[in-house]
Amino acid sequence: MTTKTEAPTDVLPRHAAVARPKLPRFIRMFAIPIVLVWIAIVALLNTVVPQLEEVGKLRAVSMSPNDAPSLIATKHVGEKFQEYDTSSSVMIVVEGDDPLGPDAHTYYDEIVRKLDADTTHVQHVQDFWGDTLTAAGAQSIDGKAAYVQVYIAGDQGEALANESVQAVRDIVDGNQAPPGVKAYVTGPAALTTDQNIVGDASMKTIEGVTIGIIIVMLLIVYRSVTTMLVTMGMVFIGLLSARGIVSFLGFYEVFGLTTFATSMVVTLAIAAATDYAIFLIGRYQEARRSGMDR
Percent of the chain predicted with pLDDT > 90: 51
- Indicate the average pLDDT of the chain: 88
User: Among 256, 89, 112, which residue's Cα sits nearest to residue 172?
Assistant: 112
DSSP state of 153: S
Q: Please write the tens of the pLDDT for every residue from 204-254.
A: 888 889 999 999 999 998 888 999 999 999 999 999 999 999 999 999 989
CA angle 131, 134, 137 (to 5 degrees): 135
- Tell if the pTM clears 0.85, that is, is over it: no
Distance (Å, rounded) from C-alpha 144 to C-alpha 97? 7
Sheet with 181-186: list strands edge to edge.
Answer: 122-126, 145-152, 89-96, 181-186
SS3 149: strand
Distance (Å, rounded) from C-alpha 235 to C-alpha 273? 5
CATH code of domain 83-186: 3.30.70.1440
Please give the pLDDT value at position 256: 86
Please give the pLDDT value at position 12: 57
Q: Please write the tens of the pLDDT for every residue from 142-178.
A: 999 999 999 999 988 899 999 999 999 999 999 999 9
Q: Which residues lie closer than 8 Å to 251 by C-beta, 6 or more apart?
A: 49, 50, 55, 58, 59
Distance (Å, rounded) from C-alpha 19 to C-alpha 16? 9
Residues, the chain: 294
Q: Please write the tens of the pLDDT for every residue from 265-284.
A: 888 999 999 999 999 888 88
- Work out the average pLDDT over 31-44: 91
- Work out the average pLDDT over 54-60: 87
Q: Which residues of 124-144 are buried (b: 16+ CB within 10 A; e: fewer)?
A: bbbbbbbeeeeeeebbeeeeb
Please give the pLDDT value at position 186: 95
pLDDT confidence bin for 259, thresholds 50/70/90: confident
Q: Which residues of 209-222 are buried (b: 16+ CB within 10 A; e: fewer)?
A: ebbeebbeebeeeb
Contact 165, 152 (CB under 8 A): yes
Please name every residue paired with 150 in a beta bridge, in sequence order, or none if there are none: 90, 125
Task: Count Cα atoms within 13 angstroms, Cβ side, for 113.
Answer: 8
